Chains A and B, each alone.
Chain A
Amino acid sequence: MTYDIDKIRADFPILSRQVNGKPLVYLDNGASAQKPQVVIDAVTQAYSMEYANVHRGLHYLSNLATEKYEGVRGTIARFLGVKNEEEIVFTSGATEGINLVAYGWAMPRMQAGDEIVLTIAEHHANIVPWHFLRERQGVVLKWVEVDAKGDLDPQAMIDAIGPKTKLVAMSHMSNVLGTVFDVKPVIEAAHAKGVPVLLDGSQAAVHMPLDLDDLGADFYAVTGHKLYGPSGSGAIHIKAERMSEMRPFIGGGDMIREVHRDRVIYNDPPMMFEAGTPGIVQQIGLGVALDYMMGVGMQNIAAHEARLRDYASTRLAGLNWLNVQGTSARKGAIFSFTLEGAAHAHDISTVLDKKGVAVRAGQHCTGPLMAHLGLNATCRASFGMYNTEGEVDVLIEALELCHELFA
């Protein structure tokens, strides 16, 4: 099946705009993705004609909004390869999802000296909630490093799981190195030792078909704004068995069945974990975004991005003054790089911006990984379903200008 890139690009209105007088080349998808017109239309339609609060009223619009909103739970389940949609908890993004696990599952069951095994390549969203446990209850964080290519040896993760380990928390795909970690053997070995596994799927879910029921992780967090959906949307998949072990995290309306002066009866999961008025329209938009991606086909998106990765890898390798971080065979289309010499990542991103190329420069919310790599900052070009080989060429040309300017 051919991948109709022109049609896909036409679906994203922002891609036709100019930046600094140049056609936009948007390579900051790792930070956040652009939105197709169907998502924008769905958000407009929801606010224009179909808006009310959910789960509360019995009036027409409340029922309609509830139906649309709740329907997204099933869409997310389908997208993630989860049969039981009751295992999907709506969140505002992966950060909230991981905090929910930290507060709702980990905090009540971990004591001083208990361990959480992490990779060095985690995003701060999958680090800081565990630091809370370290600070507040003496939990020990055990770090497993990546090798020079940005690969993670699953056996090193498995070996780090000891008798005191209560959780393995790791990224499915590094937002800096682009490596898709080999998580299955880790999950199987952890489970054999009775240790649950949390995966941060913020990057991975965007780029590959998922079958979470088969993968078997206990917790899998995703974020909607990277999935071509609205900011403030997202979800976490939590296995029913783990969900039943959790206490609620955020308290308020909607997550309760009865509230009295001296007691409260909580709603059943997943609603027990969804307090207050949720991101109604954001989640409706996310449902449309996921349907859009599934319409194109996750397998097709993955194949397109694999071509982009190969092309970009080859072209970037041709620049012998450029250092790309992460050269794993399991790498996706995310390239973090530095220029040899004095140029700072911000110098490079400033010049790329003048050429219409949007990349991210900085630490990418990965302090421990940057320290491990011995870097202050990198530039990162991260590709999405609508990027093209021609855009790789524009990037390369702009980088050549940087090399000349900063030499």
Chain B
Amino acid sequence: MASPAFEEIAETFEFLEDWEERYRHVIDLGKAMDPLEDAVKVPATKVDGCASQVWILPQIEGEGRAAVFRFRGDSDAMIVRGLIAVLHALYDGLSVDEVLKVDAGGELARLGLNDHLSSQRSNGLRAMVERIRLLAAEKASS
């Protein structure tokens, strides 16, 4: 179900032995991602429920359930930027129908990052996944 981009990350993670190596890789993924322009860092794209600032800019092409879900994201925290890059690999380019079928918890567990999904964690990964699913659901029912 997961995209080739995500599979590539998952394969890399298999070789990373401890949290330090995994964090290092997540941070690098974030660094490699294009930052969002300030003009689109507006309330409509901001994701609440994150301790740091997070923005998700949807760029959905097409209509209905077959519409292609694309997005860009950014954060002022480096680990969170990296987590957004992971979500980008997981979701970007899927149809909105497929987006809704992704088991984010299961996929992130493969990277050992699923503890970030707990609602008590304030880094907002859960809030970001919820925003992505909401955007896809809105499109699917349009």
Contacts and interface: CB of A to CB of B under 8 A. Distances in A.
Nearest to A361: B51
Interface stretch (A199-207, A228-236, A271-279, A338-346): A338-346
A346 B77 contact: yes
Contact of B80 (A346, A354, A361, A405): A346
A69 B122 CA distance: 38
Given A344-B77, A346-B52, A347-B79, A405 B27 contact: yes
Contacts of B76: 344, 376
B110 interface: no
Given A361-B51, A362-B51, A406-B27, A346 B19 contact: no
A236 to B, nearest CB: 31
Interface string B69-80: 000000111111
A344, A354, A377 — most chain B CB neighbours (10 Å): A344
A72 B98 CA distance: 62
Interface in A368-407: 376-377, 401, 405-406
Contact of B52 (A344, A405, A406): A344
Interface residues of A, number: 15
A346 B75 CA distance: 11
A350 interface: yes
A405 B20 CA distance: 9
A351 interface: yes
A350 B78 CA distance: 11
Contacts of A406: 27, 78
Contacts of B77: 343-344, 346-347
B13 interface: no
The 4 closest A-B pairs by CB, nearest first: A344-B77, A346-B52, A346-B77, A347-B78
Given A361-B51, A376-B76, 6 more contacts: A343-B77, A344-B76, A344-B77, A346-B123, A347-B77, A350-B123
Interface of B: 19-20, 23-24, 27, 51-52, 75-80, 122-123
